[in-house]
Structure 1
């Protein structure tokens, strides 16, 4: 059974039975992985569900499907196994139902799937009559977006705090118990939407809103009121896709009517998240083969019914791409920045363009930190002026990623492909810059020369096979020779314990060979940058001259090309700045280092990386200063360090106008409903002991456990040792980086089964919202000290040493502990498997929470005794017994 053991038969017999096809099962990759037989063939109910109900989600377990289809919920694995044929029959019966809403296009897709050998095809076609009239193709069924006038600038208004409270009352509904902290936050946030005093002095509010006060509705109330009365757009920015989904669901309170909600609230993500119709067409016309071709057809079926074309966290079930792990759905999105805009035959139906235009007219745009920062930094049209940053404790990390630069082999070869296009035997839809701008080159002589020069210069970048040539000591061209020198110096300075995984070294005291290689690479990059700059100017001139062939679509394509060239030129400028510093004085604003990225000793990238020492400086300059009003909120924004930390981590410290500060404590009684157990007898590095501790703790809790790890290697080792043991006890165990399922779906499966447990890393520590009995124990394998990277060392030095480490660890502990209590009635324990827990870090936990230092046996007994209670006797806890880490 998925997520469980192999029932009443042994693993070997289960594998033998699995080889006897056809079988009906649910989630073949997951079951096959558990059996050690990944190529499981047969009739997977997930694929049938994706065909029958595209754009509809169901938890990919037997229990989840039973709930979705209205069948009896199984109580054990035997009942679940017996239910599989019933689920199949229920799905096939939907096809027979005259009221089946997803009938259009089904026969065409099923017929194509039959030719590709889809196991369900014959059973589906038996129930589908050939349409009397030919079905319309997917691309003709998709609606076209309409071009509208540029949105007018918002009217200047003030949001009355009392009106914000009234809007909040309407959102919470009649009879809802008023929450004082929520009311206060709504009134405080209203002031953010007042007219700003002067350019560069936005209204900025930092709101530390404890879990349970209802901060989402607290800021949605004034935000929606301002958008409605001012005719403007408020951007709600999150860090995780999970919160984006939650905000989208909360929007039903604002606009219950689906059509009005679709018009007034838009979810926006980066281009790489959306289905590219041109890529899909290529896949459907022979670009994909085998199982990949089946995936393309199922995605095409989904595309006809999707709300917005979002393939990552949208209404495409997260488990669907994982069924085709070797086929990879990433080829169906635009991840290379090769969009031809109006030159695409599907431009008027493009999901990305539709979302961007819808966002200009919306009241609320639900986006993510990266997209908001990129749009602001590049001064894109429609960049937000009123922003709410939820999950604001992640602003520092998001800015760190957004404003960083990386001159690596993978990045450089992508630039070559973007400019040059296919080379040698390479095929596919990819087109180089010359092919995309052929008509411009023929019209403008100077632009044509610049285009040809750029293509020729780009051939100095590394090409296919570059890693192999560097490994053999035979690099070609200036960029490959640069990466060869980077590799040589990094290995020379690496520590012995770095063997097997990514390694890095500070870019300092470099030798002459690297300085010389950097100079030659700089010349090569300048030879690319100059013609690209000329080409940008000539494209702008073409727009001004407006030749006869420049119709609306051609204009849009030229404008898109100018935008794309701008991004690439920014990248080149950052790379040249990095190279220009090699051999000279370092820039105190940046941290530069050399890195080799590896997985289990296999190299996959080499290069030079640069990050801001303080990434909130460009955040403040590019995002906060141009805005009119910004709310930054989180349940852990302030932390144990106080407001100084919040201001430093959000960019408020660099603003001319001080931020307003708001704090509302959580209404939850943490002292009565939670406790922290520090287990003292698990020796660090002892994997068998660590695995045994996890197994015993999960068994004691009866599941409902979230296990958090600081290293994927240890996670996998523990999972391998305990999965079968727990399965035999009827306790399912899911694991990030082990199970072939996306993280969001793993959380859904965990949430749906109170006896299940889930192991994961940082993404689960910050992005899991599982209220109720499904999460009652959090186990962290060790104190989450930061990895000793070059970047961390520089920031630690700048921030005063150990204090900076403590800030980072306290934040991680607080986030991990925060998974326990999500609503009234929740209770649970936080277990740390480390004796070396410094007492100074205990302030990460809410005031009043009991902390007990005890051996594993006592911790297990305490968990077995039932939920935490203030009446339980405390174990001995001596702060002097704890070891501070210098």
Structure 2
């Protein structure tokens, strides 16, 4: 099969372009009131050129910032599906939010499907935990004893002791709901996934029946497993919709685990401004030392039960397992003891939140030696577990009458393997040397707020560009990254550095402005008495916000913190103001109430924080007055943010100009993007932060915004 380094022949290029034009013609004729969008057509054309190798046949990567209203999703479907089908590749569309996944699966793909040639099949890929375990559902719906009630000495009890199967007894209504779910799954009216069940499922109840890696083994041959059935359907799909977390989890393991291998994929990364942070999460590790030690010690008490299942044929493998445990548990004990001792001597002093970042990423107190031993012993233990799984799988075929016990043993072995891999990989990442001019990872220690004796070692890579290059950019057939906010301060540099691209690597960049009539809406910067750093700022907000809410029917007020939001809400309610406040009800319920009030011609005011500044869609009369109380500068209080700022400063840079300001620019653009959601929308934005006029960086932030009519009062 051709890969990303092979130029598409001219004939194929011509055929591909003809397909794109013909599909567009059919689509435009079929849709009532179809209105051509110049920016959307241009985006399709540029995507087609990149995919055809017109810009760089060896590196088909496009980074496209496309403003709100262009129609990004329909554009990349028009360009991507015909190319992927012709090249016999899979089209993988990755998003950051569930809302966009639902839009693609329920609206955009069904809309395009009847008019597209070649035809295609599409499917949604979800994580294992979104599916139920058919066996658990069957057992619990039939009233079987719950897993915390197993006999002492059983593998099920070991799992329960590890808090993986222990749950409160089922209520009568929960038992009834499980029976309905099992009936629906049995008769084929429900696919077994949480999202398609018609009513909400309590989290505590779902946890009792959800599929989990340690208890969901392909070797068990569950033909009716919802998760494995869904995975089988993915193999038949031409277009796969997935979220960033699942995509990057697959890529971090080498690809081809859940999704097709990168070489067989055209990736479209929508909401691509999230990619770097999600990649950072995938490359991170957290070692809860006391919990991991307790799990190993419990397994050490009970692993002798394997003798009964494996018999004489398993003695050699069990002996190696015992040897591995005898080495690993003391290694883990020694690391834990050394850290606790350093904390008691105050050689290590966490802050008030129980967090201690290791400055410059250096490990303190001679941790290198115990971590090295832990990494090596974890690897030995991993190797000892593998043959046990194989032999148990063989026993499952030979002795089906013991299937329950063998399945529980397999689940326990899988759990131990997962934890051993966490220890091995986390230790390796903590020990990884940083070469000259490389960005060191953030390394820190946390004390658990609930378990006062727990010590957690954490490590997160700061620079993930080289990982993305290794996992995806250098391997994929093609990559298209799109978002409404990829530039910061009118430049792609900040995004490019975060994802490991270079200006000269052959990647193509495109920026298309929104077709909305921004000058029709106003951006107001009032004359204010103080800046947000002032002690009087909270009182100023309590005075200013009511002034800008007066005579407005649909308002959204965005805050930088929950504290400030709740304090302002208390002050305004004392003045008789009716407010819908984030956190006081679900997001869905708040938006429903807000729309009801707007439809009934009643003034409605929403208060929200940063999560309301992205992805909130309130078109037309549902939002005409947006108040932003403070520029969205992040406070570098997390270990990752502190470490990044520290590294930039030590490298001779300016952390504010290189990190804080570009990120604030991107977030401000997103926040302002809540106001206009369609071509007919209009309204106003009020920015209650005088730094836009008092600081030197203020004009740069304003210039990066869409062309609202700016009024300074």
> TM (normalized to structure 2)?
0.77
1:660 maps to 508
Contact map agreement 1:490 1:594 (CA 8 A) in 2: no
Alignment of 1:379-418 (within 5 A): 379=254, 380-381=256-257, 382-384=260-262, 385-409=265-289, 413=291, 417=295
Contact map agreement 2:439 2:647 (CA 8 A) in 1: no
Identify if the C-alpha distance between structure 1 residues 276 and 184 changes in structure 2 by more than 3 Å, giving closer, same or farther: same
- Alignment of 1:792 onto 2:644: yes
Alignment of 1:582-661 (within 5 A): 588-596=438-446, 606-653=455-502, 657-661=505-509
Q: Offset of 1:766 from its aligned partner?
A: 2.0
Contact map agreement 1:770 1:819 (CA 8 A) in 2: yes
Identify if the C-alpha distance between structure 1 residues 241 and 585 changes in structure 2 by more than 3 Å, giving closer, same or farther: same
Alignment of 1:700-715 (within 5 A): 700-702=551-553, 704-715=554-565
**Partner residue of 1:447 out of 308, 311, 317:** 317
Choose 529-538 or 282-291, whichever is displaced more: 282-291
Choose 640-649 or 557-566, whichever is displaced more: 557-566
**What is the SS of the residue equivalent to 2:607?**
strand
2:93 maps to 236
1:815 maps to 670
**Partner residue of 1:163 out of 19, 27, 49:** 19
**Partner residue of 1:298 out of 177, 184, 191:** 177
1:128-158 per-position Cα deviation (integer Å, ceiling 9, x unaligned): xxxxxxxxxxxxxxxxxxxxxxx99999865
* Partners of 2:413 and 2:84 in 1: CA distance: 32
Alignment of 1:381-780 (within 5 A): 381=257, 382-384=260-262, 385-409=265-289, 413=291, 417=295, 443-455=313-325, 459=329, 478-479=335-336, 481-482=338-339, 485=342, 492=349, 494=351, 499=352, 501=353, 503-507=355-359, 514-516=364-366, 519-536=369-386, 549=398, 570-580=421-431, 588-596=438-446, 606-653=455-502, 657-678=505-526, 680-681=528-529, 684=532, 685=535, 686-691=537-542, 693-694=544-545, 697-698=548-549, 700-702=551-553, 704-722=554-572, 731=578, 733-736=580-583, 738-739=584-585, 741=586, 743=587, 746-747=590-591, 750-751=594-595, 753-754=597-598, 755-780=603-628
Identify if the C-alpha distance between structure 1 residues 803 and 182 changes in structure 2 by more than 3 Å, giving closer, same or farther: same
Q: Offset of 1:816 from its aligned partner?
A: 0.6
**Partner residue of 2:210 out of 326, 329, 333:** 333
* Partners of 2:190 and 2:211 in 1: CA distance: 19
* Partners of 1:781 and 1:291 in 2: CA distance: 46
* Partners of 1:459 and 1:479 in 2: CA distance: 11
**Partner residue of 1:272 out of 125, 129, 137:** 129
Q: Offset of 1:238 from its aligned partner?
A: 0.6
* Partners of 1:354 and 1:487 in 2: CA distance: 52
Question: How well do the aligned residues superpose, as a CA RMSD in angstroms?
Answer: 4.7
Contact map agreement 1:440 1:447 (CA 8 A) in 2: no
* Partners of 2:679 and 2:548 in 1: CA distance: 24
1:832 maps to 687
Unaligned runs of 5+ in 2: 147-166
Unaligned runs of 5+ in 1: 1-150, 425-431, 463-475, 854-874, 876-886
**What is the SS of the residue equivalent to 1:532?**
helix
1:361-380 per-position Cα deviation (integer Å, ceiling 9, x unaligned): 11211111121111122123
Contact map agreement 2:448 2:455 (CA 8 A) in 1: no
**What is the SS of the residue equivalent to 1:784?**
coil
2:702 maps to 843
1:657-712 per-position Cα deviation (integer Å, ceiling 9, x unaligned): 4112222221011111242435624663554543554455445423x333333323
Contact map agreement 1:719 1:735 (CA 8 A) in 2: no
Contact map agreement 2:489 2:700 (CA 8 A) in 1: no
Alignment of 1:135-214 (within 5 A): 158=13, 160-171=16-27, 173=31, 175-194=33-52, 201-214=58-71
Contact map agreement 2:524 2:710 (CA 8 A) in 1: yes
Identify if the C-alpha distance between structure 1 residues 778 and 691 changes in structure 2 by more than 3 Å, giving closer, same or farther: same
1:277-332 per-position Cα deviation (integer Å, ceiling 9, x unaligned): 45545654454557766346436645737765443xx33578x35xx57x464454
Q: Offset of 1:640 from its aligned partner?
A: 2.6
Identify if the C-alpha distance between structure 1 residues 576 and 650 changes in structure 2 by more than 3 Å, giving closer, same or farther: closer
* Partners of 1:509 and 1:792 in 2: CA distance: 10
1:806-854 per-position Cα deviation (integer Å, ceiling 9, x unaligned): 101101101111111111111233333322333144336535323334x
* Partners of 1:361 and 1:490 in 2: CA distance: 58
Q: Offset of 1:390 from its aligned partner?
A: 0.4
Q: Offset of 1:224 from its aligned partner?
A: 2.3
Higher RCO (CA < 8 A, seq sep 6+): 2
* Partners of 1:360 and 1:252 in 2: CA distance: 19
2:162 maps to none
1:369 maps to 244
Contact map agreement 2:92 2:239 (CA 8 A) in 1: yes
* Partners of 1:546 and 1:279 in 2: CA distance: 22
**What is the SS of the residue equivalent to 1:843?**
helix
Contact map agreement 1:709 1:780 (CA 8 A) in 2: yes
Identify if the C-alpha distance between structure 1 residues 521 and 644 changes in structure 2 by more than 3 Å, giving closer, same or farther: closer
Identify if the C-alpha distance between structure 1 residues 281 and 302 changes in structure 2 by more than 3 Å, giving closer, same or farther: closer
Identify if the C-alpha distance between structure 1 residues 508 and 377 changes in structure 2 by more than 3 Å, giving closer, same or farther: closer
1:732-786 per-position Cα deviation (integer Å, ceiling 9, x unaligned): 51413x43x3x45655554555354433333322222222222223333322212
* Partners of 2:24 and 2:447 in 1: CA distance: 49
1:315 maps to 196
Choose 568-577 or 634-643, whichever is displaced more: 568-577
Identify if the C-alpha distance between structure 1 residues 339 and 222 changes in structure 2 by more than 3 Å, giving closer, same or farther: farther
Q: Offset of 1:801 from its aligned partner?
A: 2.7
Q: Offset of 1:233 from its aligned partner?
A: 2.0
Paired positions, count: 650
Identify if the C-alpha distance between structure 1 residues 594 and 371 changes in structure 2 by more than 3 Å, giving closer, same or farther: same
Identify if the C-alpha distance between structure 1 residues 439 and 613 changes in structure 2 by more than 3 Å, giving closer, same or farther: same
* Partners of 2:173 and 2:447 in 1: CA distance: 33
Contact map agreement 1:771 1:821 (CA 8 A) in 2: yes
Contact map agreement 2:324 2:384 (CA 8 A) in 1: no
* Partners of 1:438 and 1:229 in 2: CA distance: 55
Q: Offset of 1:209 from its aligned partner?
A: 1.0
* Partners of 2:272 and 2:679 in 1: CA distance: 24
* Partners of 1:650 and 1:164 in 2: CA distance: 30
Identify if the C-alpha distance between structure 1 residues 192 and 800 changes in structure 2 by more than 3 Å, giving closer, same or farther: same
2:164 maps to none
* Partners of 1:487 and 1:300 in 2: CA distance: 53
1:866 maps to none
Identify if the C-alpha distance between structure 1 residues 567 and 523 changes in structure 2 by more than 3 Å, giving closer, same or farther: same
**What is the SS of the residue equivalent to 1:348?**
coil
Contact map agreement 1:407 1:609 (CA 8 A) in 2: yes
1:354 maps to 229
> TM (normalized to structure 1)?
0.63
Contact map agreement 2:122 2:238 (CA 8 A) in 1: yes
**What is the SS of the residue equivalent to 1:627?**
coil
Identify if the C-alpha distance between structure 1 residues 295 and 487 changes in structure 2 by more than 3 Å, giving closer, same or farther: farther
Contact map agreement 1:486 1:607 (CA 8 A) in 2: no
* Partners of 2:458 and 2:709 in 1: CA distance: 44
